[in-house]
């Protein structure tokens, strides 16, 4: 099985992503991808990266795994955690080590 890397999500940036959730599905936008610099490249390990998603205040997801699909290269089950609310937006991150 191939590990996902940042390039798998580049087509998602700026797009609305549908999230399968209970009790109702949610919708978020992949705001940007943070590529973490890793000083040593080791074969078989991916470059760490973080996906940063935003949503409106009415989309409130607890930390957990959800199925994300924007119609391009998915769906993928991704674990997200909440970040601090800023203004009228909720923010979430998914860290890939």
Which tops the pLDDT comparison, 50 or 2? Answer: 50
pTM > 0.85: yes or no = yes
What is the number of domains present in the chain?
A: 1
Q: Each residue of 4-29: pLDDT tens digit?
A: 889 999 999 999 999 999 888 999 99
Q: Is residue 57 situated within a structural domain?
A: yes
Going by DSSP bridges, is the β-strand pair 64-69/76-82 parallel, antiparallel, or unpaired?
A: antiparallel
Say whether pLDDT at 82 is over 70.
Answer: yes
Q: Is residue 1 situated within a structural domain?
A: no
Q: Each residue of 31-57: pLDDT tens digit?
A: 999 987 666 666 667 788 999 999 999
60: CATH: 2.40.10
DSSP structure string for 10-60: GGGBTSEEEEE-SSS-EEEEEEEEEEPP-SS--TT-PPPEEEEEEEETT--
């Amino acid at each position: 099985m191939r590990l996902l890397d940042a390039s798998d999500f580049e087509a998602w940036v700026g797009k609305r992503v549908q999230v399968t959730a209970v009790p109702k599905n949610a919708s978020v936008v992949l705001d940007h991808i943070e590529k973490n610099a890793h000083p040593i490249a080791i074969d078989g390990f991916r470059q760490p990266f973080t996906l940063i998603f935003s949503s409106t205040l009415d989309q409130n997801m607890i930390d957990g795994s959800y199925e994300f699909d924007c119609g391009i290269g998915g769906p993928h089950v991704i674990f997200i955690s909440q970040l601090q609310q800023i203004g009228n937006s909720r923010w979430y991150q998914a860290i890939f080590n």
